[in-house]
Amino acid sequence: MIKFPNVADLVPEGKSGDVEVRHIEVDERAAEFSAIRAAINPGREVAVGVGTYAQLFVGRQLMMSDTEAERISNTGIVHCARGHVLIAGLGLGMIVHPIAAKREVESITIVELSPHVIKLVATTLPKKAKVVEGDIFEWKPPVGTKYDTIYFDIWPDITTDNLKDMTRLHRRYAKFAAKDAWVESWQRGHLMVVKQREARARRNNPFAGMVRCGTFRS
């Protein structure tokens, strides 16, 4: 069983530049309401239990939190991580802790674009982890470096619009992947299924998505 940390216990509230870490309290009433929403929308929402959670904002955009939904969506990387690991996107560092706890993981390199995220979060990470400031679309590993695990997690939302970036990154870092390396992006499998469903819907209904405009008179 994967044990994710309670990030609020590790990363204090703080602000640097346009980045802010906030802590939120979910009481019994809020948790009950969340459970009802999850029951009404199975597969789309996950209940948030009573507790204290951390949130990472960049500008006004909520980039991530450490709620159950976020943990579930990142179990794949923790299960599969081994050897030398490359992660794009630091976030709150939630996934780094269980990855570093694995004996088969030798090192973790994290590429993060924002120096403000690094300032607020990097000092809370395990010793196996090293954070590098850079743009993952431009950053180049040291010559000769190969990674056994590569994971891209730089998007705040789960949307098929992310697939274009994912394809670009997977192609760019293929040459840095060791033999039999595990390479994945956050929720890519789910998004590919959604895109296929959307394509089938368009084929079955060629008028899907079209808007008819009429003339209205007063």
Chain segment 133-179, per-residue pLDDT in tens: 999 999 999 999 999 999 999 999 999 999 999 999 999 999 999 99
pTM of the shown model? 0.87
Cβ neighbors of 204 (< 8 A, separation 6 or more) are none
Cβ neighbors of 69 (< 8 A, separation 6 or more) are 45, 46, 48
pLDDT of amino acid 217: 40
What is the rounded distance in angstroms from the CA atom of residue 88 to the CA atom of residue 20? 19
Chain segment 77-121, per-residue pLDDT in tens: 999 999 999 999 999 999 999 999 999 999 999 999 999 999 999
CA distances to 37, 48, 96, 139, 164 from 194, in Å = 22, 24, 28, 30, 14
Residue 208 in this model has a pLDDT that exceeds 80 = no
Residue intervals of the chain classified under CATH 3.40.50.150 are 73-186
Q: Looking at domain 73-186, does it have CATH number 3.40.50.150?
A: yes
Residue 41 in this model has a pLDDT that exceeds 80 = no
- What is the average pLDDT score of the chain? 91
What is the rounded distance in angstroms from the CA atom of residue 131 to the CA atom of residue 137? 16
Closest CA to 71 of 89, 90, 46: 46
Burial of 31 (0-12, 13-18, 19+ CB in 10 A): middle
Residue 5 in this model has a pLDDT that exceeds 80 = yes
| Residue 78, both tokens | 């923790």
pLDDT of amino acid 11: 98
> Looking only at Cα atoms, what is the longest distance across the chain?
73
